[in-house]
Amino acid sequence: MKVSEMLVPTLREIPAEAEVVSHQLLLKAGFIRKAAAGVYNLLPLAWRVVKKIEQIIREEMDRQGGQELMMPIVQPAELWRESGRWDVYGPELFRLKDRHGRDFCLGPTHEEIITTLVKGDINSYKQLPLLLYQIQNKYRDERRPRFGLLRGREFIMKDLYSFDYDQDGLDVSYNKMYEAYNNIFSRCGLDFRPVVADSGAIGGKDTHEFMVLAESGEATIVYCEGKECGYAANEERAEAVVTGVKDDTPVLELKKIHTPDCRTIADLASFLKVAPERMIKTMLYTTEKETVAALVRGDREINEIKLYNILGCVKLDMAGPATVLAVTGAQTGFAGPVQLKGVRIVADPEVMTMTNAVCGANEDDHHLVNINLGRDFEPDIVTDIRLVKSGEPCPNCGNKLLEARGIEVGQVFKLGDKYSKAMNATFLDENGQARLFIMGCYGIGVTRTMAAAVEQYHDERGIIWPAQIAPYHVAVLPVNHKDEHQFGTAESIYRQLVATGVEAVLDDRPERAGVKFKDADLVGYPLRITVGDKGLAAGQVELTTRQTGDMKMVPLDKIVDEVKSSLLGLGYTGL
Ligand code: ATP
Ligand code: MG
């Protein structure tokens, strides 16, 4: 393609609305334009990247026996009522009515549609397993659409659904997808990690998220420093190791002390000269059913996702001042588990190892010292409810855990019979008995993956596309477009490259060389060929690798081979 004929509207300035690098660079380099909050035009360069990512996904899905189909984006509300999600999905669901007043939604995901489809057409165990997928626009009216393509309201997703005879079958399908996802993100050239993730209150089901490591990631992951161990988890889900052990320090007499204005652990620590590890942090939460007190050691933080899952509630909020006053008789900051009436107490196991601890007295400006389990309080539930931080021991091998930020680009999930049960989707087994399909679902954010690649690979000049998903492989630049020899040579190289299957562009614009260099760096072509006077005098052109900045002079008759081997060196295997 000739650059003069391409729609690549590069910008000189970074638009003010863009907070993260991928949003800034995709706008600036002319890949995307906003149509509405969280809704974007994908311009030709972006569309090429998307198609490449999709192609990698297709190959890996098909390799595992996946079959591609296309389901409707417009979905009837009845199916969502049947699964029970019409009411629980909330404002994220784009809802609409047809001319007859019937309810529909735009698909945020397709469990309802596919379960109905399979229920209608698959009757026998002999037709299983079944892996069906599509690559399509998805719609979610996100509360905060932001970061460009990273969190859109319209975005492209690959979603595959597996249907199996039983749990063992599901395990096989799940492992296939897990392997496929590893292949996909490796082939996209990304630095990523599969992490154990939270599966929500329905619980007990396996799920992994695939995280691209990047500073701008919204998720925190913890992973084991030990290479062989491989433990990695979303912070929401990371298991805590109980480090304390109950010692045999003599139990001292419970005392109430005056602690004016000590509402936080830090206030109290400096006032009492006691380490936070010796305190019990008591946090009050309300659910739709009850108020609960959650206890963790003073230096720890509560993991609300873990707490939410344990309580099996629909809503979990920190208790407001009125509730705190009603339950404890004191203002916020002085709650404690002793004599706390009418609320369930959930304690982290570490709290169970503490002797002569400090906690709130349920009285304004007062705390208790020397509180002890059994004598002074008894929790209703003891379970891991705290956040795990870097530096703590790995739950798998005991080595140190490290922390990183990640962008979730994909998730694999064992649904089990959640949807088949709700929608009564069964097949007949070998004895003619009806059985529920055992399902899994597996998503990849295609447009998010593109943005994640930019988050990972860029510098101050622009994007540095991994060769496997770059919109084009090489840009050919005549330094002086008016010089016929230069221009003719550039054009000839461009033609030869295209003829051998290399995706090349020729920057034939009547622009200064500096402008062309700048744009090539901004767009992020993996390779650049510069055709200038000095080189040509010696029968050579300059080949530059965007990623490393390496530059070498290559004889004209070698340039095509050199480009091919450079692409191979960059991980591109398509030639
Ligand atoms: P998140 O937690 O980031 O909101 P999710 O867990 O709700 O995502 P899934 O339902 O697992 O997302 O969807 C599968 C994949 O679709 C995600 O792994 C992600 O890559 C992509 N995705 C989800 N929401 C968006 C969005 N708003 N914009 C772009 N991609 C998205
Ligand atoms: Mg997810």
What pLDDT digit, counting tens, does each position of 469-482 carry? 999 999 999 999 89
Please report which confidence band the pLDDT of residue 246 belongs to, taking 50, 70 and 90 as the band edges.
confident
Alpha carbon of 445 to ligand 1 centroid (Å): 6
Contact of 453 with 188, CB cutoff 8 Å: yes
Alpha carbon of 36 to ligand 2 centroid (Å): 24
Proximal ligand: closest to the CA of 211: 1
Q: Does 323 score more than 80 pLDDT?
A: yes
Which CATH superfamily is 3-239+402-455 part of?
Answer: Bira Bifunctional Protein; Domain 2 (3.30.930.10)
Closest to 137 (Cα-Cα) out of 79, 71, 187: 71
Tell the residue number behind the tokens 């539930």, with chain if given.
381
Contact of 297 with 384, CB cutoff 8 Å: no
**What's the CA angle centered on 203, arms 420 and 132, to 5 degrees?**
40
| Cβ of residue 141 lying under 6 Å from some atom of ligand 1 | no
Q: Which two tokens stand for residue 285?
A: 């939460």
Q: Which atom of ligand 1 is nearest to the CA of 408?
A: 18
Q: What is the pLDDT of residue 244?
A: 72
How high does pLDDT run on average in the chain?
A: 95
Please report which confidence band the pLDDT of residue 248 belongs to, taking 50, 70 and 90 as the band edges.
confident
| Cβ of residue 43 lying under 6 Å from some atom of ligand 1 | no
CATH 3.90.960.10 residue ranges for the chain: 255-382
| Cβ of residue 194 lying under 6 Å from some atom of ligand 1 | no
Ligand 1, atom 23: nearest CA belongs to which residue?
Answer: 445
Q: Please name the fold of domain 472-569.
A: Rossmann fold (3.40.50)
When mean pLDDT is compared across 75-79, 238-242, 406-410, 550-554, the lowest value belongs to: 238-242
Alpha carbon of 412 to ligand 1 centroid (Å): 12
Ligand 1, atom 29: nearest CA belongs to which residue?
Answer: 151
Closest to 386 (Cα-Cα) out of 248, 491, 240: 240
DSSP letter at 399 equals S
Please report which confidence band the pLDDT of residue 201 belongs to, taking 50, 70 and 90 as the band edges.
low
| Cβ of residue 199 lying under 6 Å from some atom of ligand 1 | no
Q: Please name the fold of domain 255-382.
A: YbaK protein (3.90.960)
Alpha carbon of 64 to ligand 2 centroid (Å): 22
Alpha carbon of 507 to ligand 2 centroid (Å): 41
Proximal ligand: closest to the CA of 159: 1
Q: Which atom of ligand 1 is nearest to the CA of 218?
A: 3
Q: What is the pLDDT of residue 198?
A: 85
**What's the CA angle centered on 36, arms 33 and 37, to 5 degrees?**
100
How do residues 331-379 score in pLDDT, each as one tens digit? 999 999 999 999 999 999 999 999 999 999 999 999 999 999 999 999 9
What 3-state class would DSSP assign to 324?
A: helix
Q: Which two tokens stand for residue 318?
A: 């920190």
| Cβ of residue 443 lying under 6 Å from some atom of ligand 1 | yes
Q: What is the pTM (predicted TM-score) of this model?
A: 0.91
Q: What is the pLDDT of residue 574?
A: 87
CATH 3.40.50.800 residue ranges for the chain: 472-569
Q: What is the pLDDT of residue 203?
A: 47
C-alpha–C-alpha distance, residues 65 and 48, integer Å: 26
